[in-house]
Every structure is written in structure tokens, then in C-alpha cells.
Amino acid sequence: MTPTGAGVPADAVVLTEAGVLTEAACAKVNLALHVRRRRADGYHDLETIFAFTDFGDTLTGAAAGTLTLTTEGEFASVVGAVDNLVLRAARVLAAAAGVQHGARLQLIKRIPVAAGLGGGSADAAAALRLLNRLWQLDWPLGRLADVGSGLGADVPACVFGTTQLGSGRGEQLTPYTGASMAGTPVLLVNPRVPMLTGPVFAEWDRIDRGALDVASPLAALRNDLTGPALALDPVIGTVLATLDAAGAALSRMSGSGATCLGLFASTADCDAARERIAAAYPHWWTVATSLR
Ligand code: C5P
């Protein structure tokens, strides 16, 4: 349970073996998440700003007759390799494309699980992009996103991996037209409390607090799942207060938690805050990285 330091860039080349393809599965953060209404199908209509960080998992793959997956990395034992979203994405893509190819896949799992960072969705999206290349399908990203939407509400956003506005369940995407935030230093802090998305949404009080106006400064926007997640585990309040005390220009819970993000004015400030928080809470998971 040692704290993690600067995040390994998800697109770091980890294998150079001939014929091995690499895809970055970048961690997703929600810079804002407004929940609007509960739907008849049990999902919630929401409006969100998806953004991605340089930190993430790495998926590699090579041609093979059958489909196999091995996992390594800090959280490999948590995800397992049996019903991993990577394998589900591969099967869904093979069926949609009408091919029977296999692949030898390897996932380096650095993103904590059930953490509000879209780790499983990012892995599924990386699998769709990687197999699109390996199997020479040459499909556009939009078609891959459509194939992936049944795997999870965040998968389409992760297929594109760029800052976007999400609506509906999160799967309806439009380009983000605000000023670019690429390169903004961001500190990710998770108190190592897993939060399942379904139960957090179920805690929502069904009060619509209003639309997400992209023209508003981020500080005026919200994550409406913060209250529900706090009700399930108050430590999230401590994480947010700790980020504020460490000098974050903005602190916010990501997704359904429990990871919270802090935006910082400089990489030096972000790194210093990480060291301070890791010293005070050595059992928390911390990564200093940047928005893409
Ligand atoms: O789509 P995904 O599998 O990520 O969603 C997990 C759970 O989170 C859903 O079964 C649902 O309970 C909840 N959810 C929701 N509204 C959304 C997204 C997720 O209620 N927009």
C-alpha cells in the first residue's frame, strides 16, 4: 500500500517486440457532473465534462489464433482476467465485425478499480482501438464508440479520449468548446475505498440542481454525486478538504468517487501537494499527472 508518485504516462511504450501494438487507456475524470433525472430504465440522465489524464493503463496486443489476456500492475489482482471488460470488448467487436480472429493481449493495470476514473471503460475502449488496428478493420472511432456503448456508459467517451461533453447516460457526446485545459497539472487522490457506481446513483435525492452551462467557470459547476458518495463514505469529504488545504485551485470528486481531483497552477505545486498528502495519509493512493 505504498503511495504512487508521478503517474506513468499511459502511452509510455512498454514493449518494443515486433508486431506488438500498444494503446493507452487514459484515466477519465469528470470535471463536472450534473445529474438531471432518474429514467424509467434505472439509469440517470446527466450532463458531464469528460476529460482525460496522461496517467492510465497500458494495453498491448499481438496477433494470435485465440483470445487471451494477461494482467500485471498494481491493481491486476483486483480486475482479474476472467470477465475483464477488455475481453468483453474484444468479443463484442469480433461479433460486430463478423471476424473470428484472436489476440494475445496484456494489460498493465495502474488505475484503481471502482474509483470514478473509468478504468474498466478506458481498458475496453483501448481494446476496441487496438483490435481495430490489429484486425485491420479500419473503422472510424464513432463506429467503435457505438459498439462499445453497451459495455458501459463511459466507454464511448473513452474511445475518443478527448475532452467532451456527455449527456444521456453519458454516451451522447458533443465536442467541448471551452478553452483547452491540456497540460493542466492534476492530482488524483483516492482513499482506497471502492465505490460502486450503481449504489452511489441510487443515493441521489432526485433533486435537479440545474443544467451544466459550459460557459460557466468550473468552480460554478458541480458533481451532483458528491453528496450521495459522502453519505456512503464521509472520508471523501476529508479528501476534498485535504486537496483544498494543499493548494488546489479546484477540488472535485470524479464520477461516482471515491477519487477526487485537484487542479493546480503548476507542476511543482501539484508535486508538492502530492508529497504533502502522501506523507499525511500514507495509505491513500495518489498520482500527480496532467490533463490531456
Ligand atoms: O453503464 P455502467 O455499467 O458504467 O453503469 C453502472 C451503473 O451505474 C448502472 O447500472 C446504473 O445503476 C448507474 N448509472 C446510472 N446512470 C448513468 C450511469 C450509470 O444510474 N448515467
Q: Is 280 exposed, middle or buried (0-12, 13-18, 19+ CB in 10 A)?
A: exposed
**Which residues, other chains included, contact 202 with Cβ-Cβ below 8 Å and sequence gap of 6+?**
228
Amino acid 47: pLDDT: 98
What are the tens digits of pLDDT across the range 72-94? Answer: 999 998 887 556 899 999 999 99
Q: For a ligand 1 pocket test, name from 43, 223, 254 the mutation site with the most ligand atoms within 8 angstroms of its C-beta.
A: 43
Q: Establish whether residue 168 lines the binding site of ligand 1, counting it when its CB lies within 6 angstroms of any ligand atom.
A: no
CA of 119 to the centre of ligand 1 (A): 14
Q: What's residue 3's pLDDT? A: 43
What is residue 83's predicted lDDT score, i.e. its pLDDT?
Answer: 63
- What is the whole-number distance in angstroms between the Cα of residue 152 and the centre of ligand 1? 7
Give the model's confidence band at 12: pLDDT under 50 very low, under 70 low, under 90 confident, else very high: low
Active site residue 146: no
CB atoms < 10 A from the CB of 248, how many? 24
Query: What pLDDT shows up at residue 160?
Result: 98
**Whose CA is closest to 6, among 280, 283, 270?**
270
Q: What is the mean pLDDT of residues 31-52?
A: 98
Query: Does the beta carbon of 203 lie inside 6 Å of ligand 1?
Result: no
Protein residue whose Cα sits closest to atom 11 of ligand 1: 198
Is 57 part of the annotated catalytic residue set?
Answer: no
Average the pLDDT over 180-203 and give the result. Answer: 97
Ligand 1 pocket test target in 44, 173, 256 with most atoms within 8 Å of CB: 44
